[in-house]
Amino acid sequence: MTLPIRLLDLGLVPSVRSQTVYHAVAHAFGPTTPDTIILVAPIDPYVCIGYHQELEQEVDLTYCQAHGLPVYRREVGGGAVYLDRNQVFAQWIFRRNSLPKALDARFACYIQPLVETYQQLEIAAYHRPINDIQVGGRKIGGTGAMAVGEAEVMVGSLMFDFDMASMARVLKVPSEKMRDKVFQSLQDYMTTMSRELGQMPDRDTVVASYLERCAVTLGVEIVPGQLSADEESLAVELDARFVTDEWLHQKGGLRRDGIKIHEDVRVVEAAHKAPGGMIRVTARLRAGQIDDLTLSGDFTVFPATAIRALEQAVRGADLRRESLLERITDSYRALSVQSPGMTPDDITTAIMAAITPV
C-alpha cells in the first residue's frame, strides 16, 4: 500500500527557516517519515549560496550588511541567488525508492508538475535538461538536488516574480561594467509569471494547481501534515547553525566560472595587459558562442568607432582562438585600425582569458 505524501504548506516564515526546514526533514528522515512536499516562502529577502561556494568570492558582503540582507549557505549545490517572498519554494524530501534512480530522470519527474502548472496559466514553459525550466529561451526556474542519508531532496520554486536588480547587486563581480552586463543578461534571459502574464497571479490558485499536478505525476495522494517534534527541534538547531561564521565561511574549493544566468548563458570578465594598455573584456556566452561583448581599458585606438565595430565583429563567434583572431584581424584591415601597442592578437588573448576556464 502506497502511503500519502505529507504536505507542509508553511506560508511565510523567517528567511533562515525557508532553507533549514527541508534540511531538517532530510536529516531527520527515518523509516516512518512520509515522503514530504514543503511549500514555503521567506518573510524577508536574503541571499543564499551553494554548498561548494566560497562566500567572499561570490557575494558583496559589504552591500548585504549595509542593506540588512542576511546570507545563508545551503547544502544543495549551485550558485548564489537573491531570494524573497515572490518565489514559493517547492521542496521534495522523498525516500530513495519513491523517485527514479537516474539523476536526469529524477529532475524530469520533479520538473514536470512545475512545467504543467505554468502551462495551465498559458505560459509556454518547458523542461530544458538537465534541470532548467524555460519559456522561449528564458529561464523561469532552476532546480537542485542532494542526498541525505535515506532521503532524496529536490528543490526549486514557483517563480511569481524576481528582483533582477537586487540579484545583480548582491553578487561580487570585478567591475561595475560586468554588473551591468549581468543585470542586462538577467533581463534578457530570465522571466517570471508576472512578466509572462502582465500581472501577479493568485498564490493560492497557483499552489492548488501545482499540487494537483504533483499528485498526478507521482500517482499518490497528497495530504496536509505537520512537522514532527524531532523535525522541529532539528530545524531550530539548524536555524542557529546556518548563521554561524564557521558554516558560512567554510572553503568550498570550487572556482566560479563567471556568473551563470541559465544552462546556456553565463557572463564572464577578464583583463590582459598589452604593451599599449590594459584590455578588459566583459562577455556574455550563449550555447558555445559569444552572444555579447564589451571591450574597455586604457588603450588608444583610431578611429574611435573601431572598438564598437570590433565588439560587433566577434558576436556570434564560436569560442576557438583562431576564429576570434580571424574576425578581429579582418576588422582591423577593413577599418584601417591603428592601436599603438595593441594588436589583434592582444585583443584575442584578452577574450580567451575571459571565456576559457582556468
Amino acid 332: pLDDT: 95
Q: Where are the domains of the chain?
A: 5-248, 264-355
> For 296, which DSSP code?
E
Query: Which set of grid coordinates corresponds to residue 35?
Result: 515522503
Amino acid 356: pLDDT: 81
Amino acid 50: pLDDT: 87
What's phi and psi for 101, nearest 5 deg? -75, -40
Cβ neighbours for 111, distance < 8 A, ≥ 6 positions apart? 127, 131, 133, 143, 156
Closest CA to 339 of 299, 293, 310, 284: 299
Sheet holding 5-13, edge to edge: 144-148, 151-159, 87-95, 36-42, 5-13, 222-224
Closest CA to 142 of 201, 220, 87: 87
Task: Count Cα atoms within 13 angstroms, Cβ side, for 311.
Answer: 16
Do the strands 5-13 and 222-224 form a parallel or antiparallel pair, or are they unpaired?
Answer: parallel
The burial of 230, by beta-carbon neighbours within 10 Å (0-12 exposed, 13-18 middle, 19 or more buried), is given as middle
Domains 5-248 and 264-355 share a fold: no
Amino acid 357: pLDDT: 61
Please state which CATH number belongs to domain 5-248.
3.30.930.10
Instruction: Say how far apart CA 271 and CA 282 lie, in whole Å.
Output: 9
Q: Give CA separation, 267 vs 173, 187, 287, 289, 352, in Å.
A: 10, 13, 12, 12, 13
The burial of 184, by beta-carbon neighbours within 10 Å (0-12 exposed, 13-18 middle, 19 or more buried), is given as middle
Architecture of the domain made up of 264-355: 2-Layer Sandwich (3.30)
Instruction: Say how far apart CA 135 and CA 200 lie, in whole Å.
Output: 17
Query: Which set of grid coordinates corresponds to residue 34?
Result: 512520509
pLDDT tens series, the chain, 358 aa: 578 999 999 999 999 999 999 999 999 999 999 999 999 999 999 999 988 788 888 899 999 999 999 999 998 888 899 999 999 999 999 999 999 988 889 999 999 999 999 999 999 999 998 889 999 999 998 888 888 888 999 999 999 999 999 999 999 998 898 999 999 999 999 999 999 999 999 999 999 999 999 999 999 999 999 999 999 999 999 999 999 999 998 865 544 578 888 888 999 999 899 988 889 899 999 989 999 999 988 888 888 788 999 999 999 999 999 999 999 999 999 999 999 889 999 999 999 999 886 4
pLDDT per residue as tens digits for the range 55-82: 888 899 999 999 999 999 998 888 899 9
Helix (H) or strand (E) holding 186: helix 176-189
Amino acid 304: pLDDT: 77
Per-residue burial over 13-49, b if 16 or more Cβ lie within 10 Å, else e, is bebbbbbbbbbbbbbbbeeebbbbbbbbbbeebbbbb
pLDDT per residue as tens digits for the range 163-208: 999 999 999 998 898 999 999 999 999 999 999 999 999 999 999 9
Instruction: Say how far apart CA 282 and CA 319 lie, in whole Å.
Output: 14
Can you spell out the DSSP letters for 51-68? TT--HHHHB-HHHHHHTT
Can you spell out the DSSP letters for 112-178? HHHHHHHHHTT--EEEETTTEEEETTEEEEE-EEEEETTEEEEEEEEES---HHHHHHHB--S-HHH
Amino acid 224: pLDDT: 98
Amino acid 256: pLDDT: 58
Amino acid 1: pLDDT: 55
